[in-house]
Chain A
Amino acid sequence: MLFLAKAALGFGAILALSGAYVFHEGVIRVDVDETRGDCHHVHVWVPATVVPIALQVVPRVKLQQAAEQVRPYLPLLREIAKELQKYPNAELVDVQQPGQHVHVSVHDSRIFVDAVSDEDNIHVRVPVQIISDVADRLESVAPGV
């Protein structure tokens, strides 16, 4: 009985710590709801920690192709990510017109992009740090492309 209690305790502690590690960089959240046509609904919640690991297992050729395409924007992406970390809470852009509302803000070092219209609702939440990680990874696979 005592052995089982200790095993359960150890398992619980490991679960809590691994959960803490997986979620310590936050969660990437993408919600897309369409009210027209086929009414697609996409809801993705991914721990941000997964992204750098996933980038390590993506075939290098694919990453190089991606890097070549976004190369001109990498310095800009890196600067934006670096600067946004200094402003963890900010309302950056807000555009409203009848039937449409686009809002870009930063809260707790996460970028919030909300685009709401009569036909589509799109909500994206991405930790700022992830942008920097992705830019660094793309730079490392294709330096000076």
Chain B
Amino acid sequence: MNHVSRGFLSFSGSLLIAACAVLPPAGLAQNSSKADQWIHVRVESKDAEGETVRVNVPIEMAVKILPAINHDNLHGGKVRIDNAHLNDVDLLTLLDAVRSSKDGEYVTVQSNQDNVRVAKNAGYLYIHVNENPGKGKKHADAKDSSKESKVEIKVPMKVVDALFSAGNDELDVVAALRALSSSGDTELVSVKDDENTVRVWIDSKNISD
């Protein structure tokens, strides 16, 4: 082997080592925890601005980051509830009553303009609210009929339990997120009205639909 060939081989070897050092560890990079649950929030505004907001956050990441945020009522991953609105309501007792009750519909309100339904079924708490200000009015105008809104909330009971596990005047958001991460793919909140569509759901995808 002549000097040129030997030199070429040495130089190629050096370049190879350099390339290995530069390239990112692709194997490690792609090995993101596939089973991790992500919480997705999508807000779509139907007004002239047509704003769309999409947020995707790994639940595990939120669980780690939230305790590091201390702002206003949020401290150590717990939100302090303003007692002023809860003076006469013992949330824990109320929750315990719901938890120990059989599946069924607890609250049903039906009127010309509003339908409210609170129910428990198969370990989930359901809250459905339908508002239609124009319905039932003798002279409902187009503006009223377009203001129909629909709210659907579906929360696993174990998440509700975890949320109120810190006591009567605190919401343990971190505990709730932990409980949520083990709940599988779930549609949590859906709000549709004439101005906005809001969706909150969890799944194992790292992008929204």
Residues of A within 8 A of B (CB): 2, 5-6, 9, 12-13, 16-17, 19-21, 23-24, 26, 72, 75-76, 78-80, 82-84, 86-98, 108-109
- CB-contacts of B7-42 with A (<8 A): 7, 10-11, 14-15, 17-19, 21-22, 24, 29-30, 32-33, 36
How many positions in chain B have a CB within 8 Å of any CB in the partner chain?
Answer: 38
Interface set, chain B 157-200, CB cutoff 8 A to A: none
Report how far A97 CA is from B49 CA in the complex, Å: 6
- Using known A-B contacts A12-B11, A20-B21, determine if residue A79 contacts B56 with beta carbons closer than 8 Å: no
Q: How far is the CA of A100 from the CA of B123 in the complex (A)?
A: 42
Please give the residue numbers on chain B whose beta carbons come within 8 Å of chain A beta carbons, in ascending order. Answer: 3-4, 7, 10-11, 14-15, 17-19, 21-22, 24, 29-30, 32-33, 36, 49-58, 60-61, 64-65, 68-70, 206-208
A13 & B56 in contact (Cβ 8 Å cutoff): no
Contact of A92 with B65 in the complex, beta carbons under 8 Å: no
Interchain CA distance A109-B4 in the complex, whole Å: 40
Contact residue among A6, A13, A83, A109 (Cβ-Cβ distance under 8 Å from B58): A83
Specify the chain A residue showing the minimal Cβ separation from B42. Answer: A94
CB < 8 Å neighbour of A87 from B4, B58, B208: B58
Chain A residue at minimum C-beta to C-beta distance from B54: A94
- Beyond the given A12-B11, A13-B11, A17-B21, could you list 13 further A-B residue pairs with CB under 8 A, ordered by the A residue number? A16-B14, A19-B22, A80-B65, A83-B60, A84-B61, A91-B208, A92-B55, A93-B53, A94-B53, A94-B54, A95-B51, A97-B52, A98-B49
Checking A9, A19, A75, A109 against B29 with a beta-carbon cut-off of 8 angstroms, the contacting residue is A109
Closest chain A residue, CB of each to CB of B10: A9
Are B65's CB and A9's CB within 8 A?
no
Min CB distance B39 to A, Å, is 11
Contact status A86-B7, CB under 8 Å:
no
CB contacts (< 8 Å) of A23 on chain B: these are: 22
A95 touches B18 (CB 8 A): no
Ordered by A's residue number, 5 sampled pairs between the chains whose C-beta atoms are within 8 Å are A83-B64, A90-B32, A90-B56, A92-B55, A98-B49
Q: Taking A98-B50, A109-B29 as contacts, is the C-beta distance between A9 and B58 under 8 angstroms?
A: no
Q: Which residues of B contact A89 (CB under 8 A)?
A: 29-30, 32, 206
